[in-house]
Amino acid sequence: MTRPLIGVPGMWSSSVHGLRYDGVAVAAAVLRCIVRAGGEPVIMFPGTGDSPAEQLARLDGVVLPGGADVAPSLYGAEPDEHYWPTDYDGQDAYETGIIEGCLAADVPLLAICRGLQLLNVGRGGTLIQHLGPGEVQHKGTVHPVQVAAGSLLAEVIGGGAADVSSYHHQAIGKLGEGLTVAASASDGVVEAVEVPGAPMLAVQWHPEDTAETNASDHALFQWVVQAAARRRVAVTEGGLAGAGSR
């Protein structure tokens, strides 16, 4: 069986080193993690005319990587002085469409950092726009999180405490509809969420940073690739129901 195709939405950037004009970027670490886990990464272009459903029909799974801040207007707030916007005005809407398309079609999805925040906002949740100094440093550090017992995350990486590579200045405020918390930091910051029964994991940390040496982070990429492989078999055999489940 060929490697399952794992879509990775690119971040449209006004400047990319080595290009004369704008470009679409994906962190190489994310792509390497997918390959290491047995998948074939496919960069998804935000400017395509295809709907999310049309793009997803060609793929077996999705990894939604981190990036710039989600527009505060999407959760009824005004941007503060720390706001770091996307270069492309349609980036938030595009990636939100991919998330909802994955959930609608049971396409396995691993959402990272910004991906978790978009999932939350798309379901009516809010974000804390900036985390000030506190008990836990969340930007540019490794810190422990507590994984919720009985969660899909615990099934994938194990329960109890896990050390994670953190690089974010925003966090979930009000939890979005239909989401459950799968991990938290000691200061109460939500570190992972799930949609019960769906083949989806969303983490606030960056597993691509340490997946080469951290078994639990590598397991996240293994999970999405293996779930994608099962879905491909089910689609081929005409029995999609439950293909991407736990």
pLDDT for res 242: 47
Which is the catalytic residue, given 102, 113, 143, 218?
Answer: 113
246 found inside a domain: no
What is the mean pLDDT for each group of 10 consecutive residues in the chain (246 residues)? 92 80 88 98 89 93 96 96 91 96 97 98 97 90 97 97 96 98 97 97 98 97 98 83 52
76 found inside a domain: yes
The CATH number that applies at residue 219 is 3.40.50.880
223 found inside a domain: yes
Instruction: Report the C-alpha gap between 205 and 198 in whole angstroms.
Output: 20
Retrieve residue 218's tokens: 């590598």
Q: Is 212 helix (H, G, I), strand (E, B) or coil?
A: coil
Which is the catalytic residue, given 143, 168, 208, 218?
Answer: 208
Retrieve residue 15's tokens: 């400047």
How many folded domains does the chain comprise? Answer: 1
Which is the catalytic residue, given 138, 143, 168, 206?
Answer: 206
Q: Does the reported pTM lie above 0.85?
A: yes
Q: How many CB atoms lie within 10 A of CB 64?
A: 26
244 found inside a domain: no
Instruction: Report the C-alpha gap between 138 and 186 in whole angstroms.
Output: 11
Instruction: Report the C-alpha gap between 215 and 70 in whole angstroms.
Output: 30
48 found inside a domain: yes
242 found inside a domain: no
Q: Which residues pair with 147 in a beta bridge?
A: 160, 183
Domain region containing 142? 5-236
Q: Is 206 helix (H, G, I), strand (E, B) or coil?
A: coil
Q: Say whether 206 is catalytic.
A: yes
pLDDT for res 178: 97
204 found inside a domain: yes
243 found inside a domain: no
